Every structure is written in structure tokens, then in C-alpha cells.
Amino acid sequence: MISLFLPLAHGLLIGRQDLPIPAWLFAWGASLVLIVSFVALSVAWRDSKFSSDGWRPVSQRLSRLITGRGVEIVTGAIGVFLLGAVVYAGLEGTDEPSLNFAVTFVFVTFWLGMVILSILLGDVFRAFNPWRAIARTVGAVFRLIAGQPHSPPLRYPERLGRWPAVAGIVAFVWIELVYATSGLGAVGLQPATVAAAALAYTAYTLIAMTLFGVETWLQRGEAFSVYYGMFSQLAPLEVRDGRLGVRRPLAAATHWARVPGSIALVVATIGSTTFDGAQEGLWQEPIGDLFDRLTDLGLGPTAAFRTSESVFFALTLAGVAAIYWAGVRGMRTLRGSPALRSLGRSFAHTLIPIGVAYLAAHYFSLFVFAEQAQFTYLLSDPLGDGSDLFGTASSGIDYGLLSANTIWYVQVAALVTGHVTGLLLAHDRAITVYGDPGRASRSQRWMLLVMVAFTCLGLFLLSQSNG
């Protein structure tokens, strides 16, 4: 039965995987992580360095140049155009996922590329967000006709926090990793499915924005805004009240997780990548076993496969959450700790760098290879119908561009860097939460275990199967 399950590169059918990281590198990586961790334990700075981000505005002229109305209209139009291009290519283009603009654009260029931009430049997606652009245009037209701004009929229930966005992100990943693999050969994600999903999400988002207000929904429910917003907390740039400013990198993340659902969002980020890595290695046999059992019960192969994968996806998310909460519970054993829930929220942001590290380690090579396709044949021939708009339709992906060694070192470096950054943020937070550096250090032995667990899990997954 196992031979039915083809290794899909993240539901994208690229036909190439990374070699698993070799044992010696795994050993070096894991040792480095442990050494770094013990050093981190012994270092104790006395004052919190990240409790305020030291934001200060850049010159008025530069700020206006980058965040001005004209720029906003152009970026918004680009966003709407790209959304339209995805829907059009998905519906009118070829069925072959790897040759259709829609699939690679949504799941690689947008989904991974926007994370990189968010970390480096801040909340770039806000400017390009097609749903924000559409809603604001419609709002402006409404104001013109009605003579007054539209006031949303419902108040957003604050206790829902970021949970609607978490649901959106999990659904997006589920489509990519579970729905796309039918189990009956290398099907990959159908471009028409991507187009349908984009249309459905557009309708859902615009309705929610009408009900709760554009800005409220962007901050709480619009999955991509909230997801990229999380990564943008690490960035050295932020637009505050319309003014562009520079701030200390990483520092803004400190207060990010106060809103309910934030822990779930970081867990979903790490859990999704973990599942993608595990489904081709660690989980492959259990998924196959459950598949066999479900088909014995009379389920069709596609339904059985999706159910089996969904179960293990849910288990992975639960497992990642369990590791984090175990660490928080450990910290709680220290006398004078805050309540569990509050403590959990105090440290959730320390997992953002781990999430970034997981993404970088798992998708670095896919991103480099798929972007070659994006900017050559998928650009010149977006529908896969033989057109050649920019003369690059006949170029291909150069798989020789990255050697296996380069990929391995990038992966291990990403995980170790994420680990160190996470420890840094956690220690800094502990000083504020626990008051004195001594107790902060003691509480941090638990966060250290959490970080070591995540980093070694990341390394372990890469050493098993490097999908």
C-alpha cells in the first residue's frame, strides 16, 4: 500500500527532494544546540533589553515617499491584479500544477516569500493586501454615495482574538498538505482548486470586513494579515500612525501574544512545517496503517487518505502545543509565577523565531528552485498554454544551483539561529516576568527544554526525510 504514497514536495509536485541531512551533521547540529543552550543558561543579563522597541520615526519626507497615498494605491492595485491573475490562471490555465502560475505563486512566492519580506521590512503585506484594497475602495465609493462612512453592524467579540485567523491558516495548510495528496498517484494541488479557494476566501473576507469593519478584521480574522503580521514583529521597520519608523529588531514581538489565539497561531506555524516534514518520514508508516484500516472500514481511497493525514496533522498540532505547555507548566513550579494562561501568553512570542527557523530549514531549497520557475517559464507562460510573454518560457530550473552540502548547512544554521534567538527572547522576557535575574534564569531552564526539544525535533525530521 505504501507504494501508493508518492513523495510530493509539499503538494507541489516538483519531483525533487533534499537528501536527508547525514548523521554526522545531525550530531554536530544537536551538540551545538546543547552547548549553546548551556552557555545561554549561564549568561544572565540584569535588565530587559526587549521590553520596549525604541521606535523612532524617520524623516517626514522619506516616510511620505514610502507610505504615501499614491504608493498605497499602486501596491493595492498590484495585490488585486495578482489575486485576479491567480484566479484566472487557476480557472483558464493548464491542469498540470507545476506548469500553472497559480499554484507556485500562492504556495511558494506568496506563502514563503512574504514571510521573508515581513521579517526584513515589516508589515509589507498590508500595502499589497488585495482584500484591504478592495474593501477600502468599496468603502470610499459607499462614502461618496451615502455621504457617510459605513459603520459595521457587529462588534467583534474580543475574546475570539486571533482564533479566526488561526482557523484560516490551518485551513490553508490543510489544503496544501492534506487535500492536495489524494493518495492515488502524484496528483498535486489542482490549479482550479486554488482558484476556487481564492474566490471563496475573498467572499468570506469581504463579508467579514463588512460585518466587523475592515481594520478590525485585518488585525484579528484575516488569516494572511495576522500571519505575516506575526513575522513582521521581528522586523526593524514599522509604520505607526501613518509614519514610518525604525525600531530595535525582535523587540516588538515581546507584547505581540497578549491577544487570545496568539499561542495557537505560533503552534500552527511550527506544527504545519513539522507535519510537512513528518508525513514523508516519521509519520509515513502510521499514516499508511491508518489508511489501510480506514479502507477496510469501507472508505474510498481518497477519503481514507485525507482522513488519515488529517488525523496526523491534528496530532502534530496537539503535540507541538503540548511541548510548549509542558514548558510553561514547568515554569509555573517556580514560586511567585503568574497564572498559567498569562504565563503562556508571556512567552509565546519566543517561538516565532523557531517558526521562522522551521520554515527556512524545510523550504529553503524548494523556494530557490521554485522561484526559478516562477520568474522564468511561469512568468512567460502562466497558463501553460505555450505562450511566451517575456521570452523566458523555455528556461527551466537549474537543480545544480544548490549542492546538497549548501542546503544542509543552511538548514542546520537556520535551526541553530532560531534556537539562539528564541532563547534570547525568552531570557529577556523572564527578567520582566520574574523580576530578578536569578529567578529568571531558573525559570528559563524550562523554556530551554522546550527550545531544545523543538530544535532537535527539527534536526531529527530533516535527518529522516528531507521533503
Residues of this chain that interact with other proteins (CB under 8 A) are: 3, 6-7, 14-19, 22-23, 26-27, 30, 34, 185-188, 330, 333-335, 365, 396-400, 402-405, 442, 445-446, 448-449, 452-453, 456, 460, 463, 466
Using the minimum distance from each CB to other proteins, give the nearer residue, 24 or 151. Answer: 24
Q: Under the phi-then-psi rule, with left for phi > 0, alpha for psi from -120 to 50, and beta for the rest, what region is 241?
A: left
CB contact burial 231-255 (16+ within 10 A = b; e otherwise): bbbbbbbbbeeeebbebebbbbbbb
Using the minimum distance from each CB to other proteins, give the nearer residue, 91 or 449. Answer: 449
Using the minimum distance from each CB to other proteins, give the nearer residue, 234 or 420. Answer: 420
Using the minimum distance from each CB to other proteins, give the nearer residue, 34 or 77. Answer: 34
Element (H, E) at 121: helix 113-121
Distance CA 251, CA 15 (A): 40
Which has the closest alpha carbon to 217: 134, 140, 141, 121? Answer: 134
User: CB of 256: closest distance to other proteins in angstroms?
Assistant: 27
Q: Residue 185: which residues within 8 A CB-CB, separation 6 or more?
A: 4, 6
User: CB of 1: closest distance to other proteins in angstroms?
Assistant: 11
Using the minimum distance from each CB to other proteins, give the nearer residue, 210 or 443. Answer: 443
Helix axes 113-121, 352-374, angle to 10 degrees: 120
User: CB of 456: closest distance to other proteins in angstroms?
Assistant: 6
User: CB of 230: closest distance to other proteins in angstroms?
Assistant: 27
User: CB of 398: closest distance to other proteins in angstroms?
Assistant: 8
Distance CA 313, CA 170 (A): 10
Strand blocks (E) in 22-91: 56-57
Which has the closest alpha carbon to 123: 263, 225, 254, 34? Answer: 225
Using the minimum distance from each CB to other proteins, give the nearer residue, 27 or 141. Answer: 27
Using the minimum distance from each CB to other proteins, give the nearer residue, 24 or 69. Answer: 24
Q: Which residues pair with 246 in a beta bridge?
A: 56, 237
User: CB of 407: closest distance to other proteins in angstroms?
Assistant: 8
**Residue found under cell 494562561:** 341
